[in-house]
């Protein structure tokens, strides 16, 4: 209802009658006026009957009355100043009051929730990444490059066998002793059997890093082999061989040259040696 915002007394009806009389004097119908003013017919009727409360707010009523008066050539400004009062500002009244302590506690509670959620997300991420940063990355070295401490170390050689002393000759038999007794003093000569051919032989046509492991997994030899060296191993003596410069090493097994192509990768050859001396891929 707009009764509080618009005056709808007898003067309003008189203003409406003034507009109706001017319309009839101009020979215009309600529908024709509504078409020219681009208003609904019931709005034009409400303006003429003084029923401004059904139209809307006073500001709309004032505008429509001025448009209607301008169309008919009627001056309604003195009546508009009296009949339509300016709208009063709406007074905002708060019906709910929140205590200051309650607002403070709500703010603290919201911040605590944010802190807990952040900790629940950040702590697991930190713990997951801490283990990776705490451990040191394993160091790797290329077999093609000789470590400094190994290059400076002298090559290991097998210890020399102690010299074999010849048995002392027994004193000469005295006179009267038999001759065969003297002949038995000489040690019997045994003919040694020839050494068996090595099962695996490595000939170094250039410098190459070499690593040899035994059947028990222990490293037997790990060094830089120089050009011109030759290494021989008996069956069952070694279980694995790594050659850093495989292109400069010739491998023979029982007198036959072994093709290292299946065991090479980036000029590094890795292969295993069976108990009978045969070469096979490394595990």
Residue-wise pLDDT tens digits, 189-217: 666 655 555 678 889 999 998 999 988 88
Q: What is the CATH number of the domain that holds 252?
A: 2.60.40
Q: Is residue 30 part of a domain?
A: yes
Q: Is the pLDDT score of 273 beyond 90?
A: no
Specify the number of domains making up the chain: 2
Residue 144 has pLDDT above 50, yes or no: yes
Helix axes 58-72, 30-37, angle to 10 degrees: 110
**CA-CA distances (angstroms) from residue 21 to 10, 48, 73, 165?**
16, 9, 12, 160
- What average pLDDT does this structure show over 184-188? 56
Is 116 inside any structural domain?
no
Choose one of 83, 102, 137: the last residue of a domain: 83
Residue among 79, 34, 29, 88 nearest 57 (CA) = 88
3-state secondary structure of 272: strand
194 assigned to some structural domain: no
For 242-268, the DSSP string reads EETTGGGEEEEETTEEPP-GGGEETTE
Where does a domain end: 64, 83, 102? 83
Position 229 confidence tier, pLDDT thresholds 50, 70, 90: very high
Structural domain of residue 229, as residue ranges? 200-281
């Amino acid at each position: 209802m707009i009764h509080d915002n618009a005056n709808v007394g007898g003067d309003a009806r008189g203003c409406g009658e003034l507009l109706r009389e001017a319309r009839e004097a101009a020979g215009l119908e309600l529908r024709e006026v509504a078409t020219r003013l681009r208003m609904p017919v019931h709005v034009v009727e409400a303006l003429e009957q003084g029923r401004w409360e059904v139209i809307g707010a006073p500001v709309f009523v004032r505008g429509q009355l001025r448009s209607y008066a301008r169309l008919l050539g009627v001056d309604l400004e003195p009546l508009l100043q009296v009949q339509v009062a300016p709208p009063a500002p709406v007074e905002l009244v708060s019906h709910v009051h929140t205590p200051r302590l309650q607002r403070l506690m709500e703010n603290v509670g919201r911040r605590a929730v944010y802190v807990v959620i952040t900790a629940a997300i950040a702590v697991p991420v930190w713990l997951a990444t801490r283990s990776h940063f705490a451990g040191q990355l394993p160091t790797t070295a290329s077999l093609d490059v000789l470590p400094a401490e190994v290059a400076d170390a002298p090559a290991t050689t097998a210890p020399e066998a102690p010299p074999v002393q010849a048995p002392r000759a027994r004193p000469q038999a005295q006179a009267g002793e038999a001759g065969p007794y003297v002949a038995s003093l000489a040690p019997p000569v045994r003919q040694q059997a020839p050494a068996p051919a090595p099962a695996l032989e490595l000939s170094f046509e250039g410098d190459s890093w070499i690593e040899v492991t035994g059947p028990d997994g222990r490293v037997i030899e790990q060094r830089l082999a120089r050009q011109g060296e030759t290494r021989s191993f008996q069956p069952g003596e070694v279980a694995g061989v790594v050659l850093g410069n495989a292109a400069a090493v010739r491998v023979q097994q029982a007198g036959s040259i072994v093709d290292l192509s299946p065991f090479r990768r980036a000029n590094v050859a890795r292969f295993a040696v069976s108990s009978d001396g045969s070469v096979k891929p490394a595990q």
